[in-house]
Amino acid sequence: MIEKITDGIYRVEVPLPRNPLKYTNSYLVRGDKESLIVDTGMNREECYKALSSALKRLEVSNPIIFVTHLHADHIGLVGELGASEICFSKKESEIVLKMFDDPSEYWRAIVEKYMANGFPEEEARKMLKLHPGIRYTTMDRIEFTEMKDGDEIEIGDFRLRCIETPGHSPAHMCLYDEDKKLFFSGDHVLLDITPNITWWPFLENSLKSYLESLDKVRDLEVNLVLPGHRRLWKDLRARVDEIKRHHDVRLKEAFNALDRPKTAWEVAPSITWDLKYERWEDVHVVQKWFAVGETVAHLEYLLKQGALQKEIGDDGKVRYFR
């Protein structure tokens, strides 16, 4: 589906089959001489057909691509669209290139981290076959144009400023047109769902980084928010405040679950997730993975606030306690 948002901006729904996110919003910003794509969808045939056919209908070739962050549903197709340039945050481009150098080592370390936090080994090993970051990311070693906080991209009469907003990913970037009051939020701020804030080896305290990044953008003058998923909306400030309250509730749930020392795996069922299930055992392993990662992020936040302690048992498992 192609939707004209305003003069010079189009939204393309890039489908994410069998994924609760449903689709990625890929945006096309048109100028007289150049066009910019913001995010691409996953590297899979359904995504490629949707985006490439949309670009053909809009008579766009060799666009510049801007990637908000390294998740597969945003970076997956950057090597497939014949881009003239691929703009990406400096920090995350370095992470992606390191992953290309030794992907098995990167994912082995991640799986071991999850198992240390209580994730059952058999289920954790399944993620090496199921994780979208393994299955559907770009397969090419890309030469990126490295972007930093405050850098600008000019397309026609659009002037888009990069705003680094770490938290959802190590160096997530939004785009902001101050004159037109447009905010491309990527996955930093979403309306119908809350972004997954998980544990990262590249962030000391991912939830703290995320909350600080929310404050960083809260008071921008914005007339329209263009997110990476689901609906567009207007009131950025109100949504930022809602998300902060959401994390306050989640922190309390994590804290209250610790009636004894527990792993993140044991705490996760006590947290309210936007999932349909009667028993934790019924949750799909991929959703358990994201839930446990977010639980670790919240427990680590409480730990660094001094509200909790943690210990590593003789079994190698990390347990948090009050």
Q: What is the pLDDT of residues 216-257, one digit of tens each?
A: 999 999 999 999 999 999 999 999 999 999 999 999 999 999
The whole-number pLDDT of residue 138 equals 83
Which residue ranges form the domains of the chain, and what is each CATH number?
A: 2-99+136-237 (3.60.15.10), 102-131+246-321 (1.10.10)
The whole-number pLDDT of residue 9 equals 98
The whole-number pLDDT of residue 268 equals 97
Q: What is the rounded CA–CA span in Å between residue 280 and residue 42?
A: 28
The whole-number pLDDT of residue 107 equals 87
CA angle (319, 274, 26) in 5-degree steps = 110
Classify each residue of 280-307 as buried b or exposed e, where b means 16 or more C-beta atoms within 10 Å of its C-beta.
eeebeebebbbbbbbbbbbbbbbeeeee
Task: Give the end-to-end CA distance of the chain in Å, rounded to a whole number.
Answer: 50
Q: Which of 83, 77, 186 is nearest to 140 (CA)?
A: 77
The whole-number pLDDT of residue 215 equals 98
Q: What is the rounded CA–CA span in Å between residue 16 and residue 4?
A: 21
Q: What is the rounded CA–CA span in Å between residue 222 and residue 205?
A: 28
Handedness of CA 263, 266, 271, 277 (dihedral sign): positive
- Local structure of 45: helix, strand or coil: helix
- Local structure of 68: helix, strand or coil: coil
The whole-number pLDDT of residue 227 equals 98
HSE-CB at 102 with a 13 A cutoff on CA atoms is 5
Structure tokens that stand for 133 in this block: 């970051």
Structure tokens that stand for 82 in this block: 């014949």
Q: Which of 1, 22, 4, 21 is nearest to 13 (CA)?
A: 1
Find all residues with CB under 8 Å of 239, minimum gap 6, and list them.
Answer: 189, 191, 225, 233
- Local structure of 292: helix, strand or coil: helix
- In this prediction, the residues of the chain whose per-residue pLDDT falls under 50 are none
The whole-number pLDDT of residue 253 equals 98
**Contact call for residues 220 and 188 (beta carbons, < 8 A):** no
Helices (H), the chain: 45-57, 72-75, 90-101, 103-116, 121-130, 132-135, 206-218, 236-256, 264-267, 285-304
Q: Which of 309, 310, 268 is nearest to 291 (CA)?
A: 268
The whole-number pLDDT of residue 218 equals 98
Find all residues with CB under 8 Å of 317, minimum gap 6, and list them.
Answer: 116, 117, 118, 263
The whole-number pLDDT of residue 213 equals 98
The whole-number pLDDT of residue 122 equals 92
